[in-house]
Amino acid sequence: MRILMVMPYRQFLGQARAEGFSTVALWDPALESPGYLREVAAGAEAYLTTDFGDTAGLRRVVAETAAKHRVERIVHLGREETMLPVAEEAERLGLAANPSRAVARLNDKSLLRRLLAEHGLSPVEVRRFDTSDQVRSALGELTLPVVAKPTALAGSRGVRLISGPADLAAWERSLAGYGYRGPVLVEEYLRGPEYSVETLSAEGRHQLVGITAKEVTAPPTFVETAHTHPAPLPAADERAMAELVTRMLDAAGHRFGPVHTEVVLTGAGPRVVESQTRLGGGRIPLLVQLSRGYDLERAVFAALAGRLEPAGPARGVARIEFFDFRPGTVVSVSGVEQAGALPFVHELSVPFEPGGQVPVTVDAKTRHGHVVVTAPDVGAAVERCAQVRQLIRLETR
């Protein structure tokens, strides 16, 4: 079967081939480096580019490419911002692996809240506003603190706890920095530990891959600082989260592909924070592979062929921690090679050189690199990450 993959990450092409698919790749050259896209082109049977910001043009290119290359399925496994128009065009052509309505319901935070309320799932107090200006006008009516978030941004962008006017002003500035002027949600502040639930679906059947424990920065922002897979959870809590997410997927009409769902385990039970029809970020697929021996990325293409491969039990723990260096101009970096040589380190990224700039971390894109380790248990994984941090020295001024 020949498939058109919109925004395929380079590793996806080999994994699709391994499952018997021939691939046509479509990318926006403004979104990745030329070197990266050369690797994408080398792995695909055909490679095309277009401007993803031009929605009508993107849909036209998808339709023309599907006809020219006799594509049998169209899939989009990249960033969710352009998933919906591609899913709608694929549906119009009769080549969709997943209904466009399911993509919209899961990816759009406002539509997801409405869906959950309609089905009596994950009750959360929420109000929708067309613009952030309306939030300012209604601030006196809200029971503070609340969490404010744009409906169409991901990666912790624009998510902030608002306890008063100063927080509101800072949130408005962050939205302006992202150029965001769309609808926003104001939700009750859910208290409890955070998790992400990874699922994979084929032909409307859903499989729990695993649950990851998440650590985030203290309010008012909620930037993820560490992930541990599998999460150390009582069986009853794991079942409750898996049941909630599965019922959500059924309600949305989701039929194919990975879904990454963020959940807070409150005193009243699990509550959905948000969901996306894609693989989890923050190297979660790597954590799954290291701890379970399960290649989640390749399993996506087995699911496209109609097969759900079980993830199996974990054989240990995998953990990622994101570095938090002092912002400023880099003076020196040391200890990276020594840390990377440790036998339990599987991936290490410190993307700074002398003269470069370490930014203030405000979202997933401005984090300062990371380390991925394996260990027999959570305590050992935390200790091993600490050992790596002690070895790396990054001085700024």
- Domain span including residue 172: 125-188
- Domain annotation covers residue 224: yes
Last residue of a domain, which of 261, 293, 315?
Answer: 315
- Domain annotation covers residue 233: yes
- Domain annotation covers residue 120: no
The pTM assigned to this predicted structure is: 0.92
What rounded mean pLDDT belongs to the chain?
Answer: 95
* Cβ atoms 160, 171 nearer than 8 A: yes
Same domain, 82 and 144: no
pLDDT at 155 over 80: no
CA 195, CA 213: separation in Å to the nearest integer?
5
- Domain annotation covers residue 375: yes
pLDDT at 240 over 80: yes
* Exposed / middle / buried, residue 20 (Cβ in 10 Å: 0-12, 13-18, 19+): exposed
DSSP string, 56-87: HHHHHHHHHHHHHTT-SEEEE-S-GGGHHHHH
pLDDT band at 66, cuts 50/70/90? very high
Candidates 235, 236, 198, 234; CA nearest to 214 is: 198
- Domain annotation covers residue 115: no
Provide the pLDDT for residue 337. Answer: 97
Structure tokens at 239: 């079942």
- Domain annotation covers residue 355: yes
| CATH of residue 184 | 3.30.1490.20
* Cβ atoms 240, 92 nearer than 8 A: no
Last residue of a domain, which of 297, 315, 333?
Answer: 315
pLDDT at 48 over 90: yes
Same domain, 271 and 370: no
Same domain, 91 and 205: no
Structural domains of the chain, count: 4
Question: Minimum mean pLDDT among 44-53, 155-164, 235-244, 308-317: which range?
Answer: 155-164
Same domain, 72 and 158: no
Cβ-based neighbours of 2, under 8 Å, separated by 6 or more? 21, 22, 23, 24, 45, 69, 70, 71, 72
φ, ψ for residue 179, nearest 5 deg: 70, 25
pLDDT at 232 over 90: yes
Candidates 196, 186, 194, 101; CA nearest to 149 is: 186
pLDDT at 222 over 90: no
Same domain, 263 and 326: no
What does the pLDDT look like over 360-369, one tens digit per residue? 988 888 999 9
What does the pLDDT look like over 301-330, one tens digit per residue? 999 999 999 998 999 999 999 999 999 999
Same domain, 198 and 311: yes
pLDDT at 178 over 80: yes
- Can you tell me the mean pLDDT for 193-207? 97
Same domain, 76 and 11: yes
Last residue of a domain, which of 138, 159, 188?
Answer: 188
